[in-house]
A and B are shown apart, each in its own frame.
Chain A
Amino acid sequence: MFSYFFTNTQLADRLSSFIEAEHQLLQYAKTRFANSHPLHDEKNHHFQLFDTPIDIPRCIKDDAMFCQVHDTDTEECNKYSLHGVKVINKQLESTTTTDKPAPLVLLHGYANGSLYFYRNLMGLSSHFSSVYALDMLGWGRSSRPKFELLTSSTTSDESSNNEDSSTIDSITKQQVTTAESFFVESLESWRKHHNLPKLTLAGHSMGGYLSVAYAEKYPQHVEKLILLSPVGVPEKTP
């Protein structure tokens, strides 16, 4: 009961030092780690932190809907927000070539954040006209709702045809699908808001696993799938 008062000030402290660290890393991303690309010019790269309002994924229980941390001023009651870094290469954006790669979306791994890619943002944006590194829902500066999901949800309408579906019981499968849809739905809502028809989806570790889940559900929006050391590929050996 007393801890309520303490935790709120603690939270604010933590949040401010988190934001401080994030800005420092962003500063490193801007100034260091430029690659020796011949067409490279740092002035063309535009870095921006952004928050995107997204719909609440359907799989979250009603009583767990409120966010545990609010840090955005424009706080809408029925929207979550996804935080991220956007890098735009103005030079590439202005050129109108036909084989322009789809915008790159980077998903971080377990217990990381979008700025974990701070060493790569500059180098990658020499090829991609826009690079988005996202904090996934429940990590970093995105909304953090409680992870309480409807297990008996109707969201698992897609019937993924796994070869070994007979060996995995349907309850486990539903549980996994629901947990994945927490992230997949938020990413899809984010994509809709930015109006991107195609993504080059790159996910590291847990993000790689979730990007496969996304590509399974929304294959029409994925141009290429790049898995960076993904978790959960091999089968468990007995």
Chain B
Amino acid sequence: MNRINTLPFYVRYMIKTARFLFDKGITPGAFLRSLPSSRSKALVDGYVLNRLPAITCEDERKHLSEYLYQNSMLPGSGECCLNEILTSGAFAKIPLLYRIPHLKQANGKEMEVHMIYGQNDWMSYRGGLDTQLLCHQKRMDWEEEQQINGSKSSSPPPRVSVYGVKNASHLLMLDNYEEFNAALIIAAGGGEKTNNQSQHVPVEFACDELLTDESGSLSRSSSSRKVAGESEAAAFFRGGFRRFRKDEDDDAAEEKKMEE
């Protein structure tokens, strides 16, 4: 709330209007449908042009933006879930951070959860690493409990792995499809095949507590591949809006924030 008051008034009003509309249940699709069709088409075209520089073929971009545009211009249905599930800052009402550690398979086995983020992703990689840490801590508690109880009483909390895909934003499957495919195949357990071609290999990250812990939480995946720590993760991930922020020459505003 404090941060919003330091912004210029027009930005402030834009954000507040967006929040108001969000709470009223107006989705981006409904907004597009309310515009005249020439405007809305131009909006979607511009969005695709800006967000997906990886698509260089003119025809391909045209068809993709047509696909997106018509998808949101058809009567809205699933899109109305937006304000039921999320709050207006793209946070979940019930965050996954507290839900993933409770996942378990029915037959007493652990669930494997893999999270893949893009390098310029506006979803923060911290969410992934925090989840990993929480699961790790729960796992330690669980192991202690097992030692006390002797027999297996419950299934263990899930293992979480975090991967980073280079040169990709939130839409990582379009931005860098080769490395994304490699990451997904590694996550699904087919890492040996992709290891041979060394050019498109994603980076695996883990929080420092897991790296220092030698007890074998990482033994599954780190056998052949290097796992990077938190400091490397901080250097790797750049966050989503930095690129745009630099364009707008907003460095002065950033300095002001630093002073506060």
Q: Which residues of A contact B (CB under 8 A)?
A: 11, 14-15, 17-18, 20-22, 24-25, 28, 33, 35-37, 68-69, 99, 101, 104, 110-113, 115-117, 119-120, 123-124, 127-128, 136-140, 142-147, 149, 160-164, 168, 172-173, 175-176, 178-180, 182-183, 200, 202, 204-206, 209, 212, 215-216, 219-220, 222, 224-236
**Chain A residues in 8 Å Cβ range of B180:** 120, 228
Question: Is B91 touching A232 in the complex (CB atoms < 8 A)?
Answer: yes
**Chain A residues in 8 Å Cβ range of B79:** 110-111, 138-139, 147
Q: Which residue of A lies closest to B25 (CB)?
A: A147
Beyond the given pairs A206-B85, A228-B184, 18 more chain A to chain B contacts, judged by CB atoms under 8 angstroms and listed by A's residue number, are A35-B181, A101-B189, A104-B188, A111-B79, A112-B71, A117-B173, A138-B77, A142-B78, A162-B102, A168-B94, A176-B93, A209-B92, A225-B114, A228-B180, A230-B123, A231-B92, A233-B96, A234-B127
Question: Is A25 touching B63 in the complex (CB atoms < 8 A)?
Answer: yes
Question: Is B114 touching A227 in the complex (CB atoms < 8 A)?
Answer: yes
Q: Which residue of B lies closest to A71 (CB)?
A: B74
Sorted nearest first, the 6 A-B pairs with minimum C-beta distance are A138-B78, A232-B92, A233-B127, A138-B77, A147-B80, A18-B70
CB-contact partner of B68 in A112, A145, A183, A222, under 8 A: A112
A180 to B99, CA, bound (A): 14
B167 to chain A, nearest CB (A): 14
A173 to B112, CA, bound (A): 25
A202 to chain B, nearest CB (A): 6
**Chain A residues in 8 Å Cβ range of B85:** 176, 179-180, 206, 209, 232
Residue from A111, A172, A209, A233 whose CB has the most chain B CB atoms within 10 Å: A233
A212-B100 CB under 8 A given contacts A138-B78, A232-B86: yes
A178 to B81, CA, bound (A): 10
